[in-house]
Amino acid sequence: MSRLETRGLVIDVPGRADGRALDLCLAPEQVWGVLGPNGAGKTTLLHTLAGLRDPRAGQVELDGQPLANLRRRRVARQLGMIFQERQDGFPATVLETALIGRHPYLSAWQMEGGDDVRLAEEALERLDVAHLKHRLVNTLSGGERQRVAIATVLTQSPQLWLADEPTNHLDLHHQTAVMALLAEQSAAGKVVLMCLHDLNLAARWCDHLLLFYPDGEACWGPASDMLVPSALERLYDQRLATAEIDGAPVFVPAR
């Protein structure tokens, strides 16, 4: 069980005022959604939370310890990240790609063993890409690559999931499958935080939301408190129509 907290965190978006400092507390069994228009700094926030980028002010703490003081290897055993953009400069198979999720757990001289391969294959199976395991990643479709990337983090099996647009490129069925996977992780005591473009996915699957405005202003809290049409309309600068289906709110852009 891990916990991620931020203290007076101001992310470093070049040329933008500090805005509101973030004091978040991401606890086990929570699913957080980060909503905001293009350029609000959602990806920058995720990278900062993962310790891949220095904040302008404040700090991120993993289980009470400043993230910047921890060794990357130790961090990688607890915190996994699904990137929105990936580099496939060199050819690699799907299985090899999933296996790098085991990197934080293996010593320098250790080769990936049978157990590691089994974990990777299970993850690929879970993401419905096991049949592709000997294919080269750069020959896959966008949606298949996205699922391989998620399978890599599943192989890494972190306590904290940071996901940047996890449903990118995915068809409706796989969108739902991935959201269900993340919900399942959360139910098993993990922490999940994801950036989402789809307001309705957020409304359907997230129990906490962080609304991120282009000027650096932000507000956060339980989803039920955040899903106020007026606030969302201000967030996206877009009028919305609201309905309720299966007891959950659904937002549609008004004409």
Partner 1 sequence: MRRLTLPLALLLAASLAALALSAGVGSANLALGELWAVLGGGGDALSRTLILELRLPRSLSAFATGGLLAVAGALMQVLLRNPLADPYVLGLSGGAAVGALAAMLAGLGGMVISGSAFAGALLSTLLVFGLAHGTGSWTPSRLLLTGVVVAAGWGAVVTLMLALSPAERLPGMLYWLMGDLAYARTPMPSLLVLVLVCLLGFPLGRSLNVLARGPMQAAALGVAVRPLEWTIYITASLLTAMAVTTAGSIGFVGLVVPHMLRLVLGNDQRLILPACALAGGTLLVLADTLARTVIAPEQLPVGVITALIGVPTFLYLLYRSR
| Cβ–Cβ under 8 Å, residues 19 and 215 | yes
User: Under rule CB under 8 A, which residues in 4-63 are in contact with partner 1?
Assistant: 47, 50-52
Provide the strand spans (E) within 36-184: 57-62, 65-66, 79-82, 160-164
Stretch that binds partner 1, among 86-94, 116-124, 207-215, 242-250 (CB under 8 A): 86-94
Instruction: Tell which one of 39, 73, 180, 225 touches partner 1 (CB under 8 A).
Output: 73
| Cβ–Cβ under 8 Å, residues 147 and 82 | no
Residue 27 beta carbon to partner 1: minimum distance, rounded to whole angstroms: 22
How far CA 224 is from CA of 9, 206, 236, 238, 249, in Å, comes to 24, 10, 18, 20, 10
76: contact with partner 1 by CB under 8 A: yes
**What is the contact mask toward partner 1 in residues 150 to 169, using x (rule: CB under 8 A)?**
------x-------------
Residue 134 beta carbon to partner 1: minimum distance, rounded to whole angstroms: 11
SS3 64: coil
How far CA 124 is from CA of 16, 73, 95, 186, 225, in Å, comes to 40, 23, 8, 19, 36
**What is the contact mask toward partner 1 in residues 93 to 122, using x (rule: CB under 8 A)?**
x--x---xx-xx-x-xx-x-----------
Footprint on this chain of partner 1 (rule: CB under 8 A)? 47, 50-52, 71-77, 79-81, 83, 86-93, 96, 100-101, 103-104, 106, 108-109, 111, 156
